[in-house]
Structure 1
Protein backbone atom coordinates (compact mmCIF):
# COMPACT_ATOMS: atom_id res chain seq x y z
CA UNK A 1 0.00 0.00 0.00
CA UNK A 2 1.24 3.48 -0.83
CA UNK A 3 1.18 5.96 2.04
CA UNK A 4 2.85 9.34 1.75
CA UNK A 5 3.75 11.35 4.83
CA UNK A 6 3.99 15.14 4.99
CA UNK A 7 7.59 16.32 4.81
CA UNK A 8 7.01 19.53 6.73
CA UNK A 9 4.77 18.61 9.68
CA UNK A 10 4.27 14.88 10.05
CA UNK A 11 1.90 15.11 13.00
CA UNK A 12 -0.08 18.10 11.74
CA UNK A 13 -3.84 17.63 11.67
CA UNK A 14 -3.90 19.88 8.59
CA UNK A 15 -1.86 17.40 6.56
CA UNK A 16 -2.98 13.85 7.33
CA UNK A 17 -1.34 10.76 5.90
CA UNK A 18 -3.04 9.59 2.73
CA UNK A 19 -3.79 5.88 2.55
CA UNK A 20 -4.48 4.99 -1.07
CA UNK A 21 -7.38 2.55 -0.86
CA UNK A 22 -8.73 2.63 -4.43
CA UNK A 23 -7.32 2.20 -7.94
CA UNK A 24 -8.33 5.80 -8.71
CA UNK A 25 -7.90 8.03 -5.64
CA UNK A 26 -8.93 11.70 -5.98
CA UNK A 27 -7.32 14.39 -3.82
CA UNK A 28 -8.73 17.85 -3.18
CA UNK A 29 -10.68 20.10 -0.85
CA UNK A 30 -14.24 19.28 -2.01
CA UNK A 31 -14.93 16.82 0.79
CA UNK A 32 -17.91 15.05 -0.79
CA UNK A 33 -16.15 14.54 -4.15
CA UNK A 34 -12.67 13.27 -3.19
CA UNK A 35 -11.11 10.28 -1.45
CA UNK A 36 -8.22 12.20 0.11
CA UNK A 37 -9.50 15.45 1.61
CA UNK A 38 -6.91 18.18 2.14
CA UNK A 39 -8.13 21.32 3.84
CA UNK A 40 -5.25 23.61 3.04
CA UNK A 41 -4.83 26.93 1.31
CA UNK A 42 -4.11 26.55 -2.39
CA UNK A 43 -5.70 23.13 -2.80
CA UNK A 44 -8.25 22.94 -5.63
CA UNK A 45 -11.65 21.31 -5.19
CA UNK A 46 -10.49 18.31 -7.22
CA UNK A 47 -6.75 18.81 -7.35
CA UNK A 48 -5.15 15.58 -8.49
CA UNK A 49 -5.38 11.82 -8.73
CA UNK A 50 -3.22 8.91 -7.65
CA UNK A 51 -4.02 5.87 -9.73
CA UNK A 52 -2.89 2.28 -9.60
CA UNK A 53 -2.18 0.33 -12.76
CA UNK A 54 -1.00 -3.22 -12.18
CA UNK A 55 1.70 -2.85 -9.50
CA UNK A 56 2.55 0.82 -10.18
CA UNK A 57 1.14 4.09 -8.87
CA UNK A 58 0.82 7.28 -10.92
CA UNK A 59 0.23 10.94 -10.07
CA UNK A 60 -1.92 13.15 -12.32
CA UNK A 61 -2.73 16.86 -12.10
CA UNK A 62 -6.44 17.50 -12.73
CA UNK A 63 -6.22 21.14 -13.85
CA UNK A 64 -5.40 22.44 -10.38
CA UNK A 65 -4.91 26.16 -9.89
CA UNK A 66 -1.70 25.95 -7.84
CA UNK A 67 -0.12 22.86 -9.34
CA UNK A 68 0.75 19.27 -8.63
CA UNK A 69 4.45 18.53 -8.25
CA UNK A 70 6.73 15.52 -8.41
CA UNK A 71 10.25 15.95 -7.02
CA UNK A 72 10.01 19.73 -7.43
CA UNK A 73 8.81 19.72 -11.04
CA UNK A 74 5.30 20.88 -11.85
CA UNK A 75 3.17 18.41 -13.80
CA UNK A 76 1.28 19.57 -16.87
CA UNK A 77 -2.52 19.29 -16.77
CA UNK A 78 -3.49 15.60 -17.16
CA UNK A 79 0.18 14.54 -17.21
CA UNK A 80 0.61 11.13 -15.59
CA UNK A 81 3.89 10.52 -13.74
CA UNK A 82 4.98 7.26 -12.13
CA UNK A 83 5.55 7.31 -8.36
CA UNK A 84 8.41 5.54 -6.61
CA UNK A 85 9.40 5.21 -2.94
CA UNK A 86 11.18 8.35 -1.76
CA UNK A 87 9.54 10.67 -4.31
CA UNK A 88 8.36 14.06 -3.07
CA UNK A 89 4.78 14.83 -4.10
CA UNK A 90 3.25 18.29 -3.80
CA UNK A 91 -0.32 19.48 -4.00
CA UNK A 92 0.05 23.30 -4.08
CA UNK A 93 2.19 23.93 -0.94
CA UNK A 94 1.34 20.62 0.79
CA UNK A 95 4.26 18.19 0.54
CA UNK A 96 4.34 14.42 0.96
CA UNK A 97 6.99 11.74 0.64
CA UNK A 98 6.06 8.43 -0.99
CA UNK A 99 6.71 5.43 1.22
CA UNK A 100 7.24 1.93 -0.10
Structure 2
Protein backbone atom coordinates (compact mmCIF):
# COMPACT_ATOMS: atom_id res chain seq x y z
CA UNK A 1 0.00 0.00 0.00
CA UNK A 2 1.34 3.44 -0.93
CA UNK A 3 2.00 5.91 1.85
CA UNK A 4 0.26 9.29 1.56
CA UNK A 5 1.90 11.60 -0.99
CA UNK A 6 3.98 8.81 -2.50
CA UNK A 7 3.92 8.03 -6.20
CA UNK A 8 1.64 4.99 -6.58
CA UNK A 9 3.23 1.79 -7.90
CA UNK A 10 0.76 1.31 -10.72
CA UNK A 11 -0.14 2.68 -14.11
CA UNK A 12 0.68 6.38 -14.52
CA UNK A 13 -2.32 8.69 -14.88
CA UNK A 14 -2.62 12.24 -16.20
CA UNK A 15 -5.50 14.70 -15.84
CA UNK A 16 -6.20 17.24 -18.58
CA UNK A 17 -7.96 20.49 -17.71
CA UNK A 18 -8.06 23.89 -19.48
CA UNK A 19 -5.33 22.89 -21.93
CA UNK A 20 -2.97 21.77 -19.18
CA UNK A 21 -1.70 18.32 -18.24
CA UNK A 22 -1.44 17.36 -14.57
CA UNK A 23 0.43 14.20 -13.58
CA UNK A 24 -1.39 12.29 -10.84
CA UNK A 25 1.69 11.48 -8.77
CA UNK A 26 0.26 10.67 -5.33
CA UNK A 27 -2.37 8.35 -3.95
CA UNK A 28 -4.72 11.24 -3.03
CA UNK A 29 -4.79 13.92 -5.76
CA UNK A 30 -7.18 16.73 -4.80
CA UNK A 31 -9.25 18.76 -7.30
CA UNK A 32 -10.86 21.93 -6.00
CA UNK A 33 -11.00 25.70 -5.71
CA UNK A 34 -8.43 26.02 -2.92
CA UNK A 35 -5.01 27.02 -4.26
CA UNK A 36 -3.15 25.66 -1.24
CA UNK A 37 -5.34 22.60 -0.64
CA UNK A 38 -5.66 21.34 -4.24
CA UNK A 39 -3.32 19.64 -6.68
CA UNK A 40 -5.50 20.79 -9.60
CA UNK A 41 -7.10 24.17 -8.94
CA UNK A 42 -10.34 25.26 -10.63
CA UNK A 43 -11.05 28.97 -10.17
CA UNK A 44 -14.84 28.95 -9.84
CA UNK A 45 -16.94 29.92 -6.79
CA UNK A 46 -19.27 26.96 -7.51
CA UNK A 47 -16.39 24.51 -7.02
CA UNK A 48 -15.74 23.45 -3.40
CA UNK A 49 -12.29 24.07 -1.88
CA UNK A 50 -11.73 20.31 -1.91
CA UNK A 51 -14.33 19.18 -4.42
CA UNK A 52 -13.09 15.80 -5.66
CA UNK A 53 -10.20 13.42 -5.23
CA UNK A 54 -8.43 10.98 -7.50
CA UNK A 55 -7.62 8.10 -5.18
CA UNK A 56 -5.24 5.21 -5.91
CA UNK A 57 -6.45 2.11 -4.10
CA UNK A 58 -5.65 -1.58 -4.67
CA UNK A 59 -3.96 -0.90 -8.01
CA UNK A 60 -6.81 1.22 -9.43
CA UNK A 61 -7.51 4.97 -9.69
CA UNK A 62 -10.95 6.26 -8.65
CA UNK A 63 -12.68 9.64 -8.98
CA UNK A 64 -14.30 10.39 -5.62
CA UNK A 65 -16.69 13.26 -4.77
CA UNK A 66 -15.50 14.70 -1.45
CA UNK A 67 -18.99 15.70 -0.31
CA UNK A 68 -19.08 18.75 -2.57
CA UNK A 69 -22.21 20.87 -2.87
CA UNK A 70 -22.44 20.70 -6.68
CA UNK A 71 -21.13 17.18 -7.21
CA UNK A 72 -19.13 15.35 -9.85
CA UNK A 73 -20.79 14.09 -13.05
CA UNK A 74 -19.88 11.27 -15.40
CA UNK A 75 -21.98 10.79 -18.56
CA UNK A 76 -24.57 13.22 -17.17
CA UNK A 77 -25.01 11.29 -13.91
CA UNK A 78 -23.84 12.48 -10.51
CA UNK A 79 -21.36 10.01 -9.02
CA UNK A 80 -19.95 9.43 -5.55
CA UNK A 81 -17.10 7.17 -6.72
CA UNK A 82 -16.09 5.67 -10.08
CA UNK A 83 -13.08 3.70 -11.30
CA UNK A 84 -11.18 5.75 -13.90
CA UNK A 85 -10.63 4.16 -17.30
CA UNK A 86 -8.72 5.53 -20.32
CA UNK A 87 -10.33 8.67 -21.74
CA UNK A 88 -12.88 9.18 -18.95
CA UNK A 89 -14.35 12.69 -18.87
CA UNK A 90 -15.73 14.05 -15.60
CA UNK A 91 -17.66 17.29 -15.14
CA UNK A 92 -17.10 19.46 -12.08
CA UNK A 93 -19.66 22.28 -12.26
CA UNK A 94 -19.04 23.75 -15.76
CA UNK A 95 -15.52 22.32 -16.03
CA UNK A 96 -14.38 19.15 -17.78
CA UNK A 97 -11.46 17.04 -16.58
CA UNK A 98 -10.29 14.19 -18.83
CA UNK A 99 -8.01 11.35 -17.79
CA UNK A 100 -5.47 9.31 -19.71
CA UNK A 101 -3.01 6.61 -18.72
CA UNK A 102 0.41 7.32 -20.21
Alignment TM class, shorter chain as reference: 0.7 to 0.9
Alignment match, 1:4: 15
Alignment match, 1:18: 22
State how far apart, in whole Å, the 1-side matches of 2:77 and 2:96 are.
13
Q: What whole-Å deviation, never above 9, does each CA across 1:28-69 have from its counterpart, x for those lacking one?
A: 111111222221342111101000123310011111122111
The two structures have a TM-score, normalised by structure 2, of 0.76
- Give 1:86 shift: 1.6
- Give 1:88 shift: 1.0
Q: Runs of 4 or more off by more than 6 Å in structure 1?
A: none
Alignment match, 2:37: 33
Q: Secondary structure at the match of 2:100?
A: coil
The reply to whether residue 80 of structure 1 matches residue 76 of structure 2 is: no
The answer to whether the 8 A contact 1:40-1:94 is kept is no
The two structures have a TM-score, normalised by structure 1, of 0.77
What is the RMSD computed on CA atoms of the aligned residues? 1.7
The answer to whether the 8 A contact 2:33-2:45 is kept is no
Which has a greater percent of strand?
2
How many residue pairs get aligned? The number is 90
Higher Rg? 2
Q: Secondary structure at the match of 2:34?
A: coil
Task: List gaps (5 residues or longer) in structure 2.
Answer: 1-11
